[in-house]
Amino acid sequence: MSHQDLQAQGLRRNSVYLHQVLQWLLAGVDFSEVRFRKDCSWTPRWLVGMALLWTWSNESTQGERFFCAQRLVREIQGGNAKPRTSIQAFMKVLLRWTKPLIDRLTIAFRWRMERDFPQHWRMFGYVVFGMDGSRIQLPRTTSNEQHSSQTKAEKKKRSRRKKPNDRAADRKSQLPQMWLTTLFHVGLHLPWNWRIGPSDSSERAHALEMLDSLPDGA
């Protein structure tokens, strides 16, 4: 039996519980306006479920995580399991539909945060939010360097301040990084909104963009 089959066997024992988790998590999400092509074997709900299982997996590579997530989905679906697909096909569909799917998940999750956890929704009568920004180091790929490295103006400004012999700091400053600004509900410790950008993004600008998403009385 291959190493991958042994991994899949261990994962299948948890399929019932993972199915219950997905059912609870996606309850109330309205996918009715998300319509894939007729020849697409995915449904919006199962594409989201597959993506969640894929990201939750602790396998070391994207391919291994995809393989285990696909085996889990097929185990959960049982006799209704769809034909196998490739990671390339999965990523293509996911990339195309990420924005509309996240929009619908966000609406449902925010509503459930208030409905399902009323004891944590307010603190001393207020709906309290916090905000924090951080840099996340990314793999040094061409696409990451194009989209997430510092702007040319920032690089030039840093080069003027840099000591001539500080080569290690120079190499570190050139690594692609993503700036993540997260707006989170303090009582629930859950994200409410977020913005991403290059490493020299403005946390203040991100914060101003997200203010309109706050509920009344926040």
Contacts of 34 (CB under 8 A, 6+ apart): 44, 97, 100, 101, 104
Q: Give the mean model confidence (pLDDT) for residues 13-22.
A: 85
Split at pLDDT 50, 70, 90, the class of 9 is low
Top pLDDT among 163 and 146 is at 146
Nearest to 158 by CA among 173, 140, 146: 173
% of the chain surpassing 90 pLDDT: 52
pLDDT at 161 exceeding the cut of 70: no
Q: Enter the pTM of the model.
A: 0.75
What is the reported pLDDT for 1?
47
Q: What is the dihedral of CA 119, 120, 123, 126, to 10 degrees?
A: -90
Q: Are strands 190-198 and 177-185 parallel, antiparallel or unpaired?
A: antiparallel
106-130 per-position pLDDT tens digit? 999 999 999 999 999 999 999 999 9
Q: At CB < 8 A and 24+ separation, what contacts does 62-66 make?
A: 62/87, 63/87, 64/4, 64/7, 66/90
63-82 per-position pLDDT tens digit? 899 999 998 888 888 867 77
Q: What is the dihedral of CA 77, 21, 23, 186, to 10 degrees?
A: -150
Query: Lowest mean pLDDT: which of 84-93, 160-169, 188-197?
Result: 160-169
